[in-house]
């Protein structure tokens, strides 16, 4: 087993991998008890070799690994790489570039929405991955031979998957589609954990400016606490508790104690005192400086029917062109298109507009109809419509 445990070994292997046109990358990490992911193992493979790096080895310096990730001459290949890239961003304050995500490429090529790695490997190579080590404790040392073999197989199979997807993309002329999708994956905004915008992750709906002001302040306070203590957000406050605080707006220990979602005596803790002060800051915010509260979209029968028709058109388009529907448009996209012909959504830009967006607008305007032809949904242009 090729296990790397020293900086010298890692520097040598990174130097060799830098000579290849691409390197496949995966990581094993733990996050159940921390805010930031704890990197345990890094595995890499080029066309002719694969290695497993013990990221927890005493004295190991990962700088040369990060330099390889920044090497513009080497494509870094991940599968569903967002969390792997987040780790690199957090540890080295840089994002690998250029990158290729095989899950995204698989969706563009019609292998389904968010296809899993083991499914993709089996479909493209016929190999079955041994998943018995997937949920083992990657922080425990020494690593077992089974763990090392599992980690190495992840990047060697990924190598084969990448080559097959690349050939298919070139054959079907969809390389640019994948490149467009990579823009989100390599954007620093995707990985920045700015407490000031933490409230945007919450699904809690607020209806009044005062509620929104409190929601923003409490969500920011929670993220700062979680990051400083390196604990999951839920260890500080659960999402539903923040929503309740935003609505109830407790400004005294007695009022905070009335919240059913908080444990008894919480109002007397340091966090309880901090939350009361945070609520007061939220209530003191000028409503004019707050973001606009998103209103529920029109849910009339007409709007609902339009969205349902757009869903049918989306499924038809996805099947016809062998592209995962999720890549073309989301349900939120469809709802926005139903409400606004000029909605600022990806489905009305670039290749998506050519594939689906223009037809969606034509369907809305009555220039396109849906019909059944031998058991399949087809789009039919109206006689007085545009071609």
The C-alpha atoms of residue 189 and residue 95 are separated, in whole angstroms, by: 11
Mean pLDDT (the chain) is 93
Of 27-36, 150-159, 312-321, 375-384, give the lowest mean pLDDT range: 375-384
Which pTM was predicted? 0.87
Residues in the chain: 387
Contacts of 342 (CB under 8 A, 6+ apart): 348
Whether pLDDT at 113 is above 90: no
**Which DSSP state fits 144?**
P
- Look at 23 and 376; give whichever has higher pLDDT: 23
> Hey, where are the domains in the chain?
3-190, 195-289, 301-381
Contact 286, 318 (CB under 8 A): no
Contact 76, 99 (CB under 8 A): yes
CB crowding 145-175: b at 16 or more within 10 Å, else e? eebbebbbbbbebbbebbebbbebbeeeebe
Query: What fold, for 195-289?
Result: DNA polymerase; domain 1 (1.10.150)
Quickly state the pLDDT bin for 382 (edges 50, 70, 90). Answer: confident
SS3 per-residue string spanning 249-311? CCCCHHHHHCCCCCCCCHHHCHHHHHHHHHHHHHHHCCHHHCCCCCCCCCCCHHHHHHHHHHH
pLDDT in tens, 314-355: 999 999 999 999 999 999 999 999 999 999 999 999 999 999
Of 50, 1, 5, 41, the closest CA to residue 23 belongs to 50
Q: Which two tokens stand for residue 9?
A: 């070994």
Q: What's the alpha-carbon Rg for the chain, to the nearest Å?
A: 25
Report pLDDT for 300: 59
Contact 26, 40 (CB under 8 A): no
> 301-381 belongs to which CATH class?
mainly alpha
| CA dist list (Å): 79 to 32, 53, 159, 186 | 21, 18, 11, 14
Report pLDDT for 374: 84
Contacts of 312 (CB under 8 A, 6+ apart): 370, 377
| Stretch 109-117: mean pLDDT | 92
| Tokens 């704890």 -> residue | 38
Whether pLDDT at 228 is above 80: yes
User: How many CA within 13 A on the CB side of residue 9?
Assistant: 13
pLDDT in tens, 8-42: 999 999 999 999 999 999 999 999 999 999 999 99
Report pLDDT for 387: 43
- Cα-based torsion angle of the residue sequence 282, 285, 288, 294 in order, rounded to the nearest 10 degrees: -10
The C-alpha atoms of residue 12 and residue 28 are separated, in whole angstroms, by: 22
Question: Domain 3-190 is of which CATH architecture?
Answer: 2-Layer Sandwich (3.30)
CB crowding 227-258: b at 16 or more within 10 Å, else e? beeeeebeebbeeebbbbbbbbbbeeeeebee
Whether pLDDT at 362 is above 50: yes
Strands (E) located in the chain: 3-4, 22-30, 38-45, 50-54, 75-78, 99-101, 368-373, 376-381
Report pLDDT for 268: 93
The C-alpha atoms of residue 42 and residue 55 are separated, in whole angstroms, by: 6
Contact 118, 129 (CB under 8 A): yes
pLDDT in tens, 265-305: 999 999 999 999 999 999 999 999 999 877 655 555 668 89
Report pLDDT for 386: 47
Please tell me if the domain spanning 195-289 has the same topology as the one spanning 301-381. Answer: yes
């Amino acid at each position: 087993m090729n296990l790397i445990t020293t900086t010298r070994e890692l520097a040598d292997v990174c130097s060799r991998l830098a000579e290849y046109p691409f390197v496949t990358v995966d990581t094993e990490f733990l996050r159940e008890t921390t805010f930031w992911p704890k990197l345990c193992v890094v595995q890499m493979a080029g066309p002719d070799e694969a290695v497993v790096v013990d990221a927890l080895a005493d004295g190991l310096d990962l700088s040369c690994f990060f330099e390889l990730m920044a090497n513009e001459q080497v494509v870094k290949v991940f599968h569903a790489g967002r969390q792997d890239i987040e780790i690199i961003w957090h540890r080295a304050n840089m994002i690998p570039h250029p990158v290729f995500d095989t899950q995204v490429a698989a969706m563009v090529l019609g292998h389904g929405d968010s296809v899993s790695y083991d499914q993709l490997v089996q479909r493209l190579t016929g190999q079955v991955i041994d998943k018995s080590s997937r949920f083992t404790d990657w922080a425990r040392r020494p690593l077992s031979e089974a763990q090392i073999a599992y980690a190495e197989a992840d990047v060697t199979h990924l190598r084969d998957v990448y080559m097959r997807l690349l050939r298919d993309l070139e054959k079907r002329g969809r390389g640019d589609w994948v490149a467009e999708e990579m823009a989100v994956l390599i954007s620093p905004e995707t990985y920045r954990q700015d407490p000031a915008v933490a409230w945007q992750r919450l699904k809690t709906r607020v209806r009044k400016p005062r509620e929104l002001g409190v929601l923003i302040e409490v969500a920011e306070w929670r993220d700062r606490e979680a990051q400083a203590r390196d604990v999951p957000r839920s260890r500080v406050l659960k999402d539903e508790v923040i929503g309740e605080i935003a609505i109830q707006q407790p400004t005294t220990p007695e009022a905070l104690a009335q919240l059913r979602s908080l444990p008894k005596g919480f109002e007397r803790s340091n966090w309880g005192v901090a939350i009361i002060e945070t609520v007061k800051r939220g209530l003191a915010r000028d409503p004019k400086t707050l973001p606009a509260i998103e209103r529920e979209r029109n849910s009339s029968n007409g709007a609902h029917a339009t969205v349902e028709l757009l869903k049918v058109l989306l499924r038809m388009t996805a099947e016809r062109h062998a592209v995962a529907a999720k890549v073309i448009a989301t349900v939120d996209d469809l709802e926005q298109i139903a409400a606004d012909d000029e909605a600022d959504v990806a489905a009305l830009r670039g290749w998506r507009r050519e594939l689906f967006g223009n037809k969606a607008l034509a369907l809305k305007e009555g220039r396109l109809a849906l019909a059944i032809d031998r058991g399949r949904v087809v789009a039919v242009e109206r006689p007085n419509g545009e071609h």
